[in-house]
Amino acid sequence: MSLLPKTHEDFSQKEYWNAFFKKRGTKAFEWYGEYPELCGLLHKYIKPKDMILMIGCGNSTLSADLYDVGYRHITNIDISHIVIRQMQDAHGKDRPDMVYQQMDALNMTFNDCKFSVVLDKGTLDALMPDDSEDVKNRIDKLFQEIDRVLRIGGRYVCISLLQEHILVKLLDFFPTAGWMFRVCRCMEAEQKSAESGEGAGLPVFIVVCTKFKKLPNVQPVLEVCLAGDHIQRVGSPEEVRTSVKSLQQSSMVCARLNRGSVAGNGEVYLDLFRPDETTPRYTVHVLDQPYARETGRRFAAFIVPQGRQTEWLFSTPEGRATLLKSAGFDRLAVVALHRDQKYDGLDAVQEELADSILHLAPPGLGQNTQIPFLSVGSDVGRREVCYRGHSQMSGDFVVEEVEGDGGHLFRRLIFLSNQGVVQSEARLKLLKFRKGKQKKVIDVGYLACEHHTYMIVGVALATRDGTESNVAVIGLGGGGLCTFLQHCFQKVRITAVDIDPAMLEVATEYFDLVQDERLDVYIRDGAQFIQQAAEKGTQFHAILFDVDSKTPGAGMSCPPPQFLEPLLLEDIKKCIGHKGVFILNIVCRVSDLREKAINNLKAIFKSVCSYKLEQEVNEIIFCTNYTFEEKVMWKSGIEDAAKRVNILAKKRKLQTENLVDVENLVKSLNITA
């Protein structure tokens, strides 16, 4: 099956088109393909018995090629008497029935309804270099003349590159007049121009406008055929424009990839759609590493199994760059499979992707080259949605089960507004009962988020063995952090707070969160909870912030800005008292924002220490109201707490190995105040 690409590359389309048409010069017809590339579609819409008018024929051989295969009723016109004389001399003897006349297509002298086909190869593009009023008036005359000389049921067949202003003009005139409107992609012409290097791989389109009598209150028929022979009915001119523009931009990106390396310029990614679907089937990231060879460049595609697309190696530019180096290829296309799509196995995925992946090949790779497909394991993985829900705070979400590395089964909470991020994850265990029955249960000792490990160290720093302690966790999610604390620290009472009631339902029903005498969950705004606790004089040995922001593109995705306001930080200071610890998970990609956050913390708390996770953007901040007079005091306190976590995790049978790499943690601590 053919797939439709849609690129996310950010570049100026107008500038590209300006450069393209400047380069094109006077050789326009060569860039639109010749008869061998166009014949498949032309024969579909033009029959040998048709009375054909070719407008702006120039010195193209297309009419002669059609004549030679049986199209004998062809009239060619051009405004240039010189080119008409040349064509008469060239074809008059061998093709006696071919007619050439000098005539302006805007003022034709033919009788009404004389022709059944008007064929236009690049003439509209040449006559409409822009959308100025003078040009639009000229095109109105052209279209009116085409309408006049075509009989009912006749077709205007226009071969064009379909710049946006040209497509808009076509859509404004013909569907409004009651004509059926179809845009077809001519893949053969596009491939020919890419191979020659002249057309830069731009899509060539054949627009077919079929004339009907205009009837009142009848919606125009609008269709696109952009992937193989699949014809798709669309509902509005805007959908036609969007489909064509996406294809044009993607083709430009593919052409750029075919011309040279993108090493040093980041990566390019595209979504691939089935023609009749609006949600992506695949997302492909293409990245290069520098290479010295001029020929024989090595290219491969890597299929990411379902459920593993959120792993660092596949979900981040840094991870994919690491994958590229380890794979040993000059260019790698990393392909992610989307949820809500069904895949019939790795072989079927490879077959479906083969043509699209070939369009992303580097220069010097032949069209018949067999592209190797790489993956982890021998199949596309498993993903099963077990619940779909809606949150007033975060929108639609799913709870799904996926098979991960080593055959382990995981349950995940995914917000569909941010599908590349796993909001919560739990590992499942299968318990066997009598009569061979099995039951899935949550492995309470599994921590999916690495930053939770170091927040737990902060809890150990704030609490003591055998002593009753109170801990507040702001941000529940699937409840994995609270569940681990509940099982690891048997003298700690946990108060969890989340603003979203849907999260409590999900945590309880699908992640085995259990409220008891040591764990209470409150549904309320976390900032307000802290403010009220400070007003009441409520004390906590530790307060943990693990709250994501609902504002995309803010630079800091965790926590929301209001959770770092000085007034709230003062309330936290009151709540933890002299001996408590404030533990904050920060996810920030903007250095200035991070520095501002750290300065806010230093202005309130006497001691601030941080740990940046390797291969993650998460950073755990520890804040206290007491002063460690020397850095060694922070390090010794964190070291003792980390060792205690390792001991407790094993003692409670949550882990069999050390949970924390103590040496690395202590070595990497950043004591800022």
Within 328-432, where are the H helices?
346-358
On the CB side of 162, CA atoms within 13 Å amount to 28
Tokens of 391: 């949150």
Tokens of 378: 């021998």
pLDDT value of residue 27 = 45
Lowest-confidence pick of 20-24, 90-94, 429-433? 20-24
What residues are paired with 424 via a beta bridge? Answer: 413
Q: How far is CA 86 from CA 83, 98, 100, in A?
A: 5, 13, 10
pLDDT value of residue 648 = 95
What's the mean pLDDT when you consider all of the chain? 88
What pLDDT band is residue 17 in, cutting at 50, 70 and 90?
very low
pLDDT in tens, 361-410: 888 776 667 889 998 877 788 888 889 999 988 899 999 998 876 778 99
pLDDT value of residue 486 = 96
Sheet with 268-273, side-by-side order of all strands:
4-7, 268-273, 282-288, 331-337, 299-304, 373-375
Residue with tokens 């007491």: 626
pLDDT value of residue 296 = 57
Instruction: List Cβ neighbours of 456 (8 Å cut-off, separation of 6 or more).
Output: 447, 481, 484, 485, 488, 645, 659
583 pLDDT above the threshold of 80: yes
Query: What's the angle, vertex CA 317, arms to CA 313 and CA 321, rounded to 5?
Result: 70
Lowest-confidence pick of 205-219, 268-282, 488-502, 596-610? 268-282
Average pLDDT of span 3-13:
54
Euclidean distance between CA atoms 13 and 253, whole angstroms:
11
pLDDT in tens, 274-333: 877 778 899 999 999 887 655 557 899 999 988 888 888 888 888 899 999 999 898 999
Lowest-confidence pick of 229-233, 259-263, 524-528? 259-263
Dihedral (Cα; 624, 625, 626, 630), 10-degree rounding: 50
Dihedral (Cα; 660, 662, 663, 669), 10-degree rounding: 100
Average pLDDT of span 505-528:
95
Tokens of 272: 């691939």
Lowest-confidence pick of 397-406, 445-454, 510-519? 397-406
Q: What is the pTM of this model?
A: 0.68
pLDDT in tens, 158-216: 999 999 999 999 999 999 999 999 999 998 887 776 666 555 567 899 999 999 988 78
Average pLDDT of span 447-454:
93
Lowest-confidence pick of 30-39, 71-80, 227-236? 30-39
pLDDT value of residue 6 = 65
Beta strands 438-442 and 469-474 are unpaired
Q: Phi/psi zone of residue 443: left (φ > 0), alpha (ψ -120 to 50 degrees), beta?
A: beta
DSSP-based three-state secondary structure for 13: helix
Whether the upstream peptide bond of residue 559 has omega within 30° of 0, thus cis, is yes
Are 522 and 529 in contact by the 8 Å Cβ rule? The answer is yes
144 pLDDT above the threshold of 80: yes
Euclidean distance between CA atoms 120 and 633, whole angstroms:
82
Q: What is the DSSP letter of 32?
A: G
Kindly report the backbone phi and psi dihedral angles of residue 342, in degrees, each rounded to the nearest multiple of 5, phi listed first: -105, 135
On the CB side of 232, CA atoms within 13 Å amount to 21
Lowest-confidence pick of 49-58, 152-161, 227-236, 528-537? 227-236
- Ranges of beta strands (E only) in 186-278 are 205-210, 222-227, 230-234, 268-273
pLDDT in tens, 246-272: 888 888 788 778 877 888 878 888 888
Euclidean distance between CA atoms 356 and 353, whole angstroms:
5
Euclidean distance between CA atoms 384 and 400, whole angstroms:
5
Beta strands 542-545 and 581-588 are parallel
